[in-house]
Amino acid sequence: MNVDLRFPLGLLFLVFGVMLTLFGLFTDQATYERSLFINVNLWWGLAMLIFGGLMFFFAWKKIQAKKR
Amino acid sequence: MQSSNELRWIDYLIILIYFIFVLGIGFVLKRFVKTSADFLLSGRSIPAWIAGLAFLSANLGAQEVIGMAASGAKYGIATSHFYWLGAIPAMVFVGIFMMPFYYGSKAKSVPDYLSLRYDEKTRAFNAFSFAGMTMMSSGISMYAMALLLQTIHIFDAPFRTLGLPNSWVFHVSIICSAVIVLGYIYLGGLTSAIYNEVIQFFLIVAGFFPLVFLGLVNVGGWSGLTQKLPAAYTHAWHGMDNPQHNLLGVDWFGLVMGLGFVLSFGYWCTDFLVIQRAMAADSMASARRVPLIASVPKMLFPFLVILPGLIALALTSPVQQNSAASGQPNQSPQAAEVQSVQQGMIPPQRNPETGEIVKDESGKAVLDYNMVIPNMLLHYFPSGMLGLGLTALLASFMSGMAGNVTAFNTVWTYDIFKAYIKRDATDANLLVVGQLATFFGVAFSVGVAYFVAAFNNIMDVLQLVFAFVNAPLFATFLLGMFWKRATGHGAFFGLISGTVAAAVHHGLTISAGSTPGVKGAWIATAHIYPSQMAQNFYTAIYAWTVCLLATIVISLVTKPRPEEELKGLVYALTEKAHETGGRWFLRPVPVGIGVLLLTLILNLIFR
């Protein structure tokens, strides 16, 4: 295969994850009235961060395995 | 809408990053496109899991996402029949039984298979009708999406700053989506479309999962939903013995035979838009796994796209609660009327020109169910997540459109240009033709979008014609793959008679409460169905049956093709794929059985 899809996929989720997490950290609680006072930006941002990181990690591991 | 629904910088940034990313994938994949097969068939190099998710995603257009939530609010959990009955069995069938012929025959497309199995006229009929329909569907979905984005008024602010009227949201939506989809397909071809579809799949999940989560928390989970809604909304098989007893207005035979067999198998087993993803797989084993991999998320998607409809219905809008508490003395009568007809979060439909509420024949306001998803996004998501949710919506829109465009350019290049315009075309010619077809296909879709916008009723007529052409298709493929005696004349005239049968059946029947015309009975009224859905299902059943019988009869009186020529194209004359080695979860048959069992269990839980 030419390009491992997990790289771009992981990258996009990492970028969105970082953005949402930071935005969630720096917004006040009043923003979250509509989301039932759950800071969805923070929590879902972290979840996306983890998913993106895992995708990236597995794609990287495969390249390392190929090099050996 | 309140000013709190204006988008903030982070929302615009998320959408912008996504657009740049999508085009970036096209640029990265550009250097791998050297032949027409790279551009149009991904060089048959896609791993099974990627092709599988793309298989699912290409079907997951915005109309599907918006439409399923709308149906969820209209018909309740019975909408899941469109997944559990109307998709899963067919996806298992195409993977196990049909993929060996599509992939094994080395056909480049579904019409190409028809030319190998039957003859040129059958291919031509399928190729031309398919090419036309894909571009028109792409235009229709472009129109629907642009209209939706204009209606939710969320992108108004930047246009206001520029001094442009609200109608520019529509134009910019169409131009942007056309340019981006054209861009990434033109650059990277089918591979680019498939890669983006997989990313779109994950984005749709990422955008909708928190929405369903928040909604469910708000209404008190599934048990809260069952308490708030009538039983018919939360039981998929409620009252299926009699069309008067269920929300769909169909009987179980029409449902199982019409939706579960004819329509479902007709789409998932013959529509090149989805089959193309499986045909791009890197091996026969992968190709057979593609629809099976897709069927697992497909099985769970009702929870993502139908539940929002149910939640929206169960919610009493906060506006309504406020007005009840304070009495709202300063409210305009118009606003009061909106609240009284509003059902949960579903607003009434408005006439786009006069702004008046649309009413049906009995004087009741018609609800705009398509607003379920946008309203839910605006209701629950704060800035940040709202950007992600809108990105998911845009992603679903682009994946559906890209599916149509890549299917079109392949059929145009191989089944129309190479087959009928320039038979001796070199591969370099075909690559250029494929790229040009991408460009003109998108341009044509834009034209269709504006045409539909100008003549709104034309959309119903077009979709009706699509239904007539598609309904009989599965009979042709079933006989082609499993009955070696079926002939080209039989297939061609069978298809024509099936299509005519669909039109005649539609012209002779109508659903209760509709006026003759585009809704049916344009010849005479011979039968009245309890609902439009029942009429659609039975139209498909009649078309399929007529096509099947006509193909059999005509085949028996025409000369069969020598068996030598049919090797690899028909079940009886093809060596069986023995995939007994390997672990069970890599083999199609055990996986298929597992998927069907799980689907059965889901049906039992939500019966």
pLDDT score for B319: 38
- Do B156 and B83 share a domain, yes or no? yes
Query: What does each C-alpha distance from A24 to A50, A68, B12 come to in angstroms?
Result: 16, 41, 16
Q: Is the pLDDT of residue B300 over 50?
A: yes
Candidates A14, A15, A34, partner chain B, best to mutate (most B CBs within 10 A): A34
pLDDT score for B323: 36
Q: Which helix (H) or strand (E) holds A52?
A: helix A40-67
Question: Is residue B244 in some structural domain?
Answer: no
**Contact predicate B99/B278, CB 8 Å:** yes
- Do B91 and B183 share a domain, yes or no? yes
- Do B502 and B527 share a domain, yes or no? yes
Dist CA B83 CA B298 (whole Å): 7
Query: What does each C-alpha distance from B523 to B288, B459, B539, B543 come to in angstroms?
Result: 44, 21, 15, 17
List of residues 6+ apart from B589 with CB closer than 8 A: B96, B579
Taking contacts as CB-CB distances below 8 angstroms, the residues of chain A near B380 are 34-36
**A50 interfaces chain B, CB cutoff of 8 Å:** no
Question: B325 is written with which tokens?
Answer: 């508490």
Q: Tens of pLDDT along B127-165?
A: 999 999 999 999 988 998 898 888 888 888 888 888 888
Question: Is residue B230 in some structural domain?
Answer: no
Question: Is residue B173 in some structural domain?
Answer: yes
Interchain proximity A9–B29, CB inside 8 Å: no
- Do B408 and B554 share a domain, yes or no? no
Question: Is residue B63 in some structural domain?
Answer: yes
- Do B19 and B166 share a domain, yes or no? yes
Interchain proximity A16–B385, CB inside 8 Å: no
Helix (H, G, I), strand (E, B) or coil at B46: strand
Taking contacts as CB-CB distances below 8 angstroms, the residues of chain B near A16 are 14, 17, 206, 388
pLDDT score for B578: 64
Domain boundaries, position B364 = 330-373
Q: Tens of pLDDT along A38-61?
A: 889 999 999 999 999 999 999 998
- Do B275 and B397 share a domain, yes or no? yes
Taking contacts as CB-CB distances below 8 angstroms, the residues of chain B near A49 are none
Interchain proximity B198–A9, CB inside 8 Å: yes
Q: Tens of pLDDT along B15-73?
A: 999 999 999 999 999 988 999 999 999 989 999 999 999 999 988 887 788 889 988 88
Least CB-CB distance to B210: which of A15, A19, A40?
A40
Taking contacts as CB-CB distances below 8 angstroms, the residues of chain B near A20 are 384-385, 388
Dist CA B255 CA B262 (whole Å): 10
Put residue B169 in one of left, alpha, beta given phi > 0 → left and psi -120 to 50 → alpha: alpha
Write down the pTM of the prediction: 0.90
pLDDT score for B352: 64
Distance of CA B130 to the CA centre of its chain: 15
Taking contacts as CB-CB distances below 8 angstroms, the residues of chain A near B203 are 12
- Do B279 and B181 share a domain, yes or no? yes
Q: Report the sign of the C-alpha dihedral through residues A57, B45, B123, B113, in that order.
A: negative
- Do B446 and B369 share a domain, yes or no? no
- Do B276 and B134 share a domain, yes or no? yes
Taking contacts as CB-CB distances below 8 angstroms, the residues of chain B near A51 are 202
- Do B10 and B34 share a domain, yes or no? yes
Report DSSP state, residue B585. Answer: G
Question: Is residue B502 in some structural domain?
Answer: yes
**Contact predicate A8/B25, CB 8 Å:** yes
Characterize B391-407 residue by residue with b for buried, 16 or more Cβ atoms within 10 angstroms of its Cβ, and e for exposed. Answer: bbbbbbbbbbbbbbbbb
Dist CA B498 CA B78 (whole Å): 29
Dist CA B561 CA B117 (whole Å): 9
**Neighbour-count burial of B493, counting CB atoms closer than 10 A to its CB (0-12 exposed, 13-18 middle, 19+ buried):** buried
Q: Tens of pLDDT along B407-421?
A: 999 999 999 999 999
Question: Is residue B549 in some structural domain?
Answer: yes
Q: Is the pLDDT of residue B123 over 70?
A: yes
**Neighbour-count burial of B180, counting CB atoms closer than 10 A to its CB (0-12 exposed, 13-18 middle, 19+ buried):** buried
- Do B447 and B526 share a domain, yes or no? no
Overall domain count for chain B? 3
- Do B57 and B81 share a domain, yes or no? yes
List of residues 6+ apart from B538 with CB closer than 8 A: B254, B258, B505, B509, B529
Question: Is residue B201 in some structural domain?
Answer: yes
φ, ψ of residue B348 to 5 degrees: the values are: -75, 155
Tell me which residues of chain A, numbers 11 to 40, contact chain B at a CB-CB cutoff of 8 Å.
12-13, 15-16, 19-20, 23-24, 27, 31-32, 34-36, 38, 40
CATH number, domain of B27, equals 1.20.1730.10
Question: Is residue B232 in some structural domain?
Answer: no
Q: Is the pLDDT of residue B227 over 50?
A: yes
pLDDT score for B330: 43
